[in-house]
């Protein structure tokens, strides 16, 4: 009896692991694999468990890689980096790890090319008559992005204009020393901005002060000091969103996911930052592979009326996985028009291409994107795929040949192009 008990006891975790994978519950499968003592099992069962664990890890990593690419596509580089790092931790495949590392490397080098769309209404600048190929999402602040040819007061006013009205009023009233440090934070060295903040008297250090110093400390990789500051800011002003947003980013960066979820749930229960909190919960759940819960949270975020492009794209991708194509299209249609000349957003155009519909409009969108982002292989590939879908064999072949001859073509793009080319003979 003890032998049978041991035998069936050893098989039980393996069977549960197999069932999790069959149900595509990748996060649960990976957790079970990590918690089980496989050394006590026979070699065959251990090998089977290892194979299932590899599959679960890679499937989760693929989800996070897609999440990161979606975030990068709409200009959310910090969120993209979080997903890429999580994918690196999860993957078991050398080839998938290489793809993730390449995506992360492109992000860090600033060569990720995102579709030409504004991120949200609060961050959008208006395109004027002289709008050119550089028009697109606002970049993260750096020394080269500031309007250095303008005087200090004008530059401060311009940056204040990017904030919500009530917050802009608070910043404008914060005093010249604070504003000078804040300007340095937008345009220059965060360490220099910290040094300027140090000159502000203790009596004037309010919630805004601690919130901004927390952001700067985070940029300087002083995560402990940054967390202390933003928690201090929230203690003084629980409704200060920039401090809460920084706290969420800090917890995510430190891998304190459970604590982050608790903070988000608490905020929702207190009716603070509800849309943002549901949005972050959606991405956390998607990263764990809990896609049904991710879609529910994402829909709750969108129901608040907040225009969160990243969550909208996540929900659309999850709906498409469930073959709910009408709902997918309805969400993607809410994305801003692509480029300065209007037209469909590139992510909507890519959906149309996958569904073989509205190909003329999709082609127009990809060509517009290519004009915005000169020689980007993503749009060259999409144009070739539209030609293929339209049955334009010679045009498609020429486009694919030109694309595959490029020595700088990313391997994943090369593989996709070759796979598409295989269909040319069937036309």
pLDDT tens-digit profile of 339-367? 545 579 999 999 999 999 999 999 999 99
Q: What mean pLDDT do residues 197-208 have?
A: 93
pLDDT exceeds cutoff 60 at 142: no
Query: Are 104 and 11 within one domain?
Result: yes
**pLDDT, tens only, 121-133:** 322 233 332 332 2
127 within some domain: no
7 within some domain: yes
Q: Which of 255, 287, 316 is the last residue of a domain?
A: 255
For the chain, how many structural domains are there in total?
Answer: 4
Count the neighbouring beta carbons within 10 Å of the beta carbon of residue 211.
Answer: 24
Cβ contact 187:155 at 8 Å:
yes
| Residue 72 lies in domain | 2-108
**pLDDT, tens only, 258-303:** 999 999 999 999 999 999 999 999 999 988 889 999 999 999 999 9
Count the neighbouring beta carbons within 10 Å of the beta carbon of residue 176.
Answer: 10
Q: Which two tokens stand for residue 283?
A: 């991405």
343 phi/psi in degrees, rounded to 5: 90, 175
pLDDT averaged over the chain? 81
Closest by Cα among 207, 156, 161, 150 to 185:
156
Name the pTM for this structure. Answer: 0.68
Cα(9)–Cα(16) distance, integer angstroms: 11
Tell me the CATH number at 98. Answer: 1.25.40
The total number of residues shown for the chain amounts to 427
260 within some domain: no
Cα(160)–Cα(379) distance, integer angstroms: 35
Cα(280)–Cα(266) distance, integer angstroms: 13
86 within some domain: yes
Q: Which of 317, 335, 353 is the last residue of a domain?
A: 335
Query: Are 218 and 301 within one domain?
Result: no
Tell me the CATH number at 387. Answer: 1.25.40.10
390 within some domain: yes
Inter-axis angle of helices 94-108 and 43-73, to 10 degrees?
20
Summary count for the chain: helices (H), strands (E): 22, 0
Query: Are 98 and 174 within one domain?
Result: no
HEC per residue, 34-97: HHCCHHHCCHHHHHHHHHHHHHHHHHHHHHHHHHHHHHHHCCCHHHHHHHHHHHHHHCCCHHHH
125 within some domain: no
Count the neighbouring beta carbons within 10 Å of the beta carbon of residue 160.
Answer: 16
Query: Are 100 and 10 within one domain?
Result: yes
Q: Is 339 exposed, middle or buried (0-12, 13-18, 19+ CB in 10 A)?
A: buried
Query: Are 393 and 349 within one domain?
Result: yes
Query: Are 312 and 405 within one domain?
Result: no
pLDDT of res. 117: 32
406 within some domain: yes
Query: Are 305 and 360 within one domain?
Result: no
Q: Is 372 exposed, middle or buried (0-12, 13-18, 19+ CB in 10 A)?
A: buried
Closest by Cα among 279, 251, 268, 244 to 76:
279
Query: Are 56 and 87 within one domain?
Result: yes
Cβ contact 375:355 at 8 Å:
no
Q: What mean pLDDT do residues 111-127 have?
A: 34
Count the neighbouring beta carbons within 10 Å of the beta carbon of residue 47.
Answer: 12
Cβ contact 351:382 at 8 Å:
no
78 within some domain: yes
pLDDT of res. 41: 67
Percent of the chain at pLDDT above 70? 80
Q: Which two tokens stand for residue 73?
A: 């596509």
Q: Which two tokens stand for residue 24?
A: 């595509």
pLDDT of res. 189: 85
Among positive and negative, which fits the CA dihedral 117, 123, 125, 126? positive
The gap from C-alpha 261 to its chain's centroid, in whole angstroms, comes to 18
Query: Are 357 and 323 within one domain?
Result: no
HEC per residue, 379-405: HHHHHHHHHHHHCCHHHHHHHHHHHHC
Question: What stretches of 91-197 show up as alpha helix (H) in DSSP?
Answer: 94-108, 152-160, 165-172, 176-187, 190-197
Q: Which of 308, 335, 362 is the last residue of a domain?
A: 335
**pLDDT, tens only, 361-399:** 999 999 988 887 777 888 999 999 999 999 999 999 999
Query: Are 14 and 90 within one domain?
Result: yes
């Amino acid at each position: 009896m003890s032998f049978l008990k041991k035998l069936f006891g050893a098989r039980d975790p393996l069977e549960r692991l197999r069932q999790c994978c069959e149900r595509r519950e990748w996060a649960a499968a990976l957790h079970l694999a990590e918690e089980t003592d496989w050394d006590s099992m026979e070699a065959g069962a251990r090998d089977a468990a290892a194979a299932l664990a590899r599959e679960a890890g890679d499937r989760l990593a693929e989800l996070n890689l897609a999440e990161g690419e979606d975030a990068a596509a709409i200009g959310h580089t910090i969120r993209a980096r979080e997903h890429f790092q999580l994918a690196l931790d999860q993957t078991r495949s050398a080839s998938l790890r290489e793809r993730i590392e390449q995506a992360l490397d492109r992000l860090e080098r600033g060569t990720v090319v995102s579709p030409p769309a504004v991120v949200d209404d609060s961050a959008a600048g208006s395109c004027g008559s002289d709008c050119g190929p550089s028009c697109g999402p606002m970049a993260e602040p750096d020394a080269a992005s500031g309007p250095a040819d303008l005087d200090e007061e004008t530059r401060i006013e311009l940056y204040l204009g990017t904030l919500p009205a009530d917050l802009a009023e608070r910043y404008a009233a914060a005093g010249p020393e604070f504003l000078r440090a804040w300007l340095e934070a937008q345009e220059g060295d965060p360490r220099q901005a910290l040094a300027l903040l140090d000159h502000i008297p203790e009596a004037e250090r309010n919630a805004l002060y601690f919130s901004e110093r927390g952001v700067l400390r985070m940029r300087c990789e002083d995560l402990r000091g940054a967390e202390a500051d933003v928690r201090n800011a929230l203690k003084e002003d629980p409704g200060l969103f920039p401090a809460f947003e920084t706290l969420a980013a800090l917890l995510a960066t430190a891998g304190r996911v459970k604590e982050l979820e608790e903070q988000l749930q608490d905020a929702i229960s207190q009716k603070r930052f509800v849309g943002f909190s549901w949005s972050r919960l959606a991405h956390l759940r998607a990263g764990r592979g809990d896609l049904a819960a991710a879609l529910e949270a994402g829909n709750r975020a969108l129901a608040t009326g907040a225009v969160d492009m990243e969550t909208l794209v996540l929900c659309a991708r999850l709906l498409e996985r469930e073959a709910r194509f009408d709902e997918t299209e309805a969400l993607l249609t809410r994305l801003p028009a692509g480029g300065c000349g209007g037209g469909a957003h590139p992510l909507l155009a890519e959906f149309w291409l996958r569904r073989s519909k509205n190909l003329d409009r999709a082609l127009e969108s990809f060509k517009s994107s290519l004009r915005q982002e000169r020689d980007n292989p993503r749009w060259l590939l999409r144009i070739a795929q539209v030609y293929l879908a339209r049955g334009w064999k010679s045009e498609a072949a020429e486009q694919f040949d030109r694309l595959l001859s490029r020595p700088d073509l990313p391997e994943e793009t090369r593989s996709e192009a070759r796979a598409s080319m295989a269909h040319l003979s069937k036309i």
